[in-house]
Structure 1
Amino acid sequence: MGKLLYGAGQEFDLDDRVLSHVKLAVVAKLRRHESFLLNWDVPVDQGSGRVSLWISREIPIAFQFAGSRPPAINPQWLEALMHTSQRTGGMVVMAEDDLNQHLPA
């Protein structure tokens, strides 16, 4: 289980594979100087609920991985993350199995 470190000491647990894809999508947006919302559902075993973070170049962000090897990247999953980032509601972190629901038809 990796961690998304955000702002002044906030930490969010995310699976390393999910976090790897989120990292690539977030970095791509920030390199283009694009700010956006990053949203995900909190699993029941972590207390339930939802998280929305405003991501911009002015707010410190770090990605901490538990594993030593980067996972293989699924280009379609990355595309789905980037596609949702264009919506008013922001980028939606989805399970890899759900990526087709977030790709354009």
Structure 2
Amino acid sequence: MGTLYYGGAREPIAIEDRALAHLKVVIATKLRRNESFTLSWRHGDGDAPGRSTIWVHASIPMRFVFDEPEAPPLSREWIESLAHSANSSGGISLVDEHIAPAEPASNRAG
């Protein structure tokens, strides 16, 4: 489980390492362009029920901490999905990765 430290928040935000790695790419891209946005997520198990939203701005300190020492492989589709939501009026909604089902062997060229 990774951790996002944001500004002077009392509690860090716990986010699964793979999700945090994808989120980091999108956040870094947006902030490099001086674009502010919101980030929303549902509270995890063990937290109070509900959801939270933060305003992400380049002037607010942010630190990404990963439990795993190696970076996970990144999904272009998941990054594009998160980036698309970042460009909407609702900001980034941290959603689960959608993995396309494997194509049956009978449909493969070969």
Secondary structure of the 1:96 match is coil
- Mapped pair 1:13 → 2:14: yes
CA distance in 2, matches of 1:23, 1:92: 13
What are the equivalent positions in structure 2 for 1:4-83 lying under 5 Å apart? 4-9=4-9, 10-83=11-84
Query: Aligned partners of 2:99, 2:48: CA distance in 1, in Å?
Result: 22
Alpha-carbon offset, residue 46 of structure 1: 2.6
What amino acid maps onto 1:89 in structure 2?
Answer: G
Q: Which segments of structure 1 move beyond 6 Å, counting only runs of 4 or more?
A: none
Give 1:38 deviation, angstroms.
Answer: 0.6
Letter aligned with residue 3 of structure 1? T
Distance 2:48 2:99 in 1: 22
- TM-score scaled by structure 2? 0.84
Q: Is the counterpart of residue 97 in structure 1 residue 98 in structure 2?
A: yes
Kindly indicate which of the two structures has a greater share of residues assigned to helix.
Answer: 1
Structure 1: tracts of 5 or more residues without a match: 100-105
Could you say which residue in structure 1 is the equivalent of 2:104? none
- Count residues in correspondence: 99
The structural deviation recorded for 1:48 is 2.2
Q: CA deviation at 1:98?
A: 7.8
Deviates more, 1:40-49 or 1:30-39: 40-49
Q: TM-score, normalised by structure 1?
A: 0.88
User: What residue identity is the alignment partner of 1:42?
Assistant: H
Shift, 1:89, TM fit: 1.1
Higher Cα Rg: structure 1 or 2? 2
SS at match of 1:17: helix
| TM-align CA RMSD | 1.6
The percentage of counterpart residues that share the same residue type is 34
SS in 2 for 1:5: strand
Instruction: State the alpha-carbon separation in 2 of the partners of residues 47 and 98 from structure 1.
Output: 29
